[in-house]
Amino acid sequence: MIDLKILEELSNAFGPSGFEEDVVKVIKKYCSGMAFRNDAMHNVYTELKPTALTAGTGDSNEIHEKPAFSTDRRPVLMLDAHLDECGFMIQSIMENGLMSIVTLGGFHLTSLPAHSVIVRTAEGKMHRGITTSKPVHFLTPEQKADNSLRIEDILIDVGACSREEVLAVYGIRPGDPVVPDVAYEYHEENGICFGKAFDNRLGCFCIIETMKALMEEEDRLAARVVGAFAAQEEVGTRGAVVTAQQVRPDLAIVFEGSPADDPYFQAGIAQGVMRGGVQIRHLDNSYVSNPAFIRYAHEIGEKLGIPCQDAVRRGGSTNAGKISLTGQAVPVLVLGIPSRYVHSHYNFCAKSDIEAAVSMAVEVIRGLNAENMKRIFRQDVI
Ligand SMILES: [Zn+2]
């Protein structure tokens, strides 16, 4: 039984790329009983039993030792999800108190004006701001007809009247981070979650729930499970470069809050259908999936009745691209939870799809054995 209270806190947490510390704290809170370590980039590592990867830190000031190979000889399965969200950074503060921004992650600019945002200062103060838009009263007929936008024209207004006020009273400086201002809600009657940052706090949630579900049977699993929450995915899958080097996985499952496409494509063509089950990704711009791993997941899904849908993406990328190119080539299973309107303020997703993603990961890990891993590692080819 998944605990959506955790998702609420993860979704509401402030954490654009490079500023993920609040997300780290929420993950730590809900990984009690697990070994835990975070690094200087806000990547987080969790294990059901501590090894050199997670041992030796905690509240002390000691610098973490380089992880040595564990005495545990089982293959390492890394659960990946990125913990950052798309946001902004204050670039400059003008004399009239308005602030220019740069984006952290990919936004379509038409979804930005006239929205509420939160600016966080270095002291941790939170200020509500509005992304500027020009009221219809001030637009010329030409401007009304023109829908083009430049990020330089979208400013943040925190209600100040001068640069001096922004600096002295609000305490905002260039370099401060900004995120969409959205409060999570769950609609019990239709099983739909509403909130921000479902790309990819849903993935963070799935790692926590998967590890909790496997806690009691850790000794019996054929693989050692490591949770790796990666920072800075939205600015170029950067955190996963570090987590993959630290964890040195033999295989991996990547969770993503994938863009739902059912509002745009008819049935049969849509491959990210909300309430359609966990999405198994065959291809995107970053990774050609391991067909043996996908076949194994399909077998599990069919045997246990876990709803799933296949996706062959024309674009997009996930941490699987980086993880798969490490070590001796890492087979990765990419599991998506279809999320409507990702990379904008407001997202919807279905509880049933989250449950399907967690069940798929748990059962894939439970079912691993020497024989199916041989297939996944392609040791059956010759
Ligand atoms: Zn994204």
**Tens digit of pLDDT per residue, the chain (382 long)?**
899 999 999 999 999 999 999 999 999 999 989 999 999 999 999 999 988 898 755 444 444 454 555 678 899 999 999 999 999 999 999 999 999 999 999 999 999 999 999 999 999 999 999 999 988 898 999 988 888 899 999 999 999 999 999 999 999 999 999 999 999 999 999 999 999 999 999 999 999 999 999 999 999 999 999 999 999 999 999 999 999 999 999 999 999 999 999 999 999 999 999 999 999 999 999 999 999 999 999 999 999 999 999 999 999 999 999 999 999 999 999 999 999 999 999 999 999 999 999 999 999 999 999 999 999 999 989 8
Whole-prediction pTM: 0.95
Amino acid letter for position 249: P
Do 364 and 239 share a structural domain? Answer: yes
DSSP 85-144: B-EEEEEEE-TTS-EEEEEES---GGGSTT-EEEEE-TT--EEEEEE----GGG--HHHH
User: What is the pLDDT at residue 144?
Assistant: 87
User: What is the pLDDT at residue 159?
Assistant: 98
The range of the structural domain enclosing residue 99 comes to 87-180
| CA 197 to ligand 1 center in whole angstroms | 8
CATH number at residue 286: 3.40.630.10
How far apart (Å, rounded) are the C-alpha atoms in residues 252 and 323? 8
CATH number at residue 94: 2.40.30.40
Burial of residue 158 (CB within 10 Å: 0-12, 13-18, 19+) is buried
| CA 45 to ligand 1 center in whole angstroms | 21
User: What is the pLDDT at residue 68?
Assistant: 54
Question: Which residue in the list 20, 233, 355, 363 is annotated as catalytic?
Answer: 233
Structural domain contains residue 190: no
Amino acid letter for position 175: G
| CA 347 to ligand 1 center in whole angstroms | 12
**DSSP 8-state assignment for residue 260:** P
Residue 29 corresponds to which tokens in the numbers above? Answer: 């809170």
Residue positions forming the annotated binding site for Zn(2+): 82, 199, 234, 256, 343
Residue positions forming the annotated binding site: 82, 199, 234, 256, 343
Do 313 and 265 share a structural domain? Answer: yes
Structural domain contains residue 342: yes
User: What is the pLDDT at residue 163?
Assistant: 98
| CA 3 to ligand 1 center in whole angstroms | 23
Do 224 and 290 share a structural domain? Answer: yes
Strands across the sheet with 192-195, in order? 185-187, 192-195, 347-350
Do 365 and 239 share a structural domain? Answer: yes
CB 191 within 8 A of CB 204: no
130 HSE (CA, 13 A, CB side): 6
Q: Is-catalytic flag, 185?
A: no
| CA 372 to ligand 1 center in whole angstroms | 31
User: What is the pLDDT at residue 85?
Assistant: 98
Structural domain contains residue 187: no
| CA 344 to ligand 1 center in whole angstroms | 10
